[in-house]
Amino acid sequence: MKKYKIGYTQGTYDMFHIGHLNLLRQAKEQCERLIVGINSDQLVEEYKSKIPVVNEHNRMEIVKELRCVDDVVLCDTLKKTTIWEKVHFDAIFIGDDWKGNARWAQTERDLAPLGADVVYLKHTDGISSSLLRTKEDQKIVEDNCR
């Protein structure tokens, strides 16, 4: 039997890569039902000050098709207590590269009275959408210089 009934994770999932898939697979191993929040384009612009390469609708479609994902929701907030009110998850999953981060420490404190755990999963080293974006930008510059 899995430890959690409803698990939740949230991200931008821009330029979907193996690190995203690894996190989602690990999360699903620990819960019966995995709900994935996709950060809206507007939210990403607000907190990252950049526009996603892949729009929110396409990112939702990509994630929705994964076997390890049971449901996908579009998110316009990073406040996990607001999301808990809608989803009522038992655990929220995040990469262990966020462990010790002030925002996630606060999230742990905020979710504890609601009975929801914050579970840190192994981060896939050497890959990120930001790194892919940088590599793509470098390739575009190189191609334009030829």
What are the backbone angles phi and psi of residue 69, rounded to the nearest 5°?
Answer: -110, 130
Q: For residue 47, what is the domain's CATH number?
A: 3.40.50.620
Residue 16 has pLDDT above 50, yes or no: yes
For the chain, what is the mean pLDDT?
Answer: 89
Residues 56 and 96: their CA atoms lie apart, in Å, by 25
State the pTM of this model: 0.85
Query: 89 with 6: CB under 8 angstroms?
Result: yes
DSSP class of residue 96? G
- CB burial of 60-96 (b: ≥16 within 10 Å; e: otherwise) equals bebbeebeebbebeebeeeebeebbeebebbbbbbbe
Please state, in angstroms and as integers, the Cα–Cα distance from residue 94 to each residue in 25, 51, 55, 113, 135, following that order.
12, 22, 22, 19, 25
pLDDT tens string 48-59 = 998 999 999 999
Does residue 3 carry a pLDDT above 90?
A: yes
CB 107 within 8 A of CB 79: no
pLDDT band at 123 (very low <50, low <70, confident <90, very high): confident
Give the chain's domain count.
1
pLDDT by residue (tens digit) across 130-142? 665 554 544 443 4
Q: Considering only CA atoms, which of 80, 99, 103 is closest in space to residue 91? A: 80
Q: Please give the residue range of the domain that contains residue 13.
A: 4-144
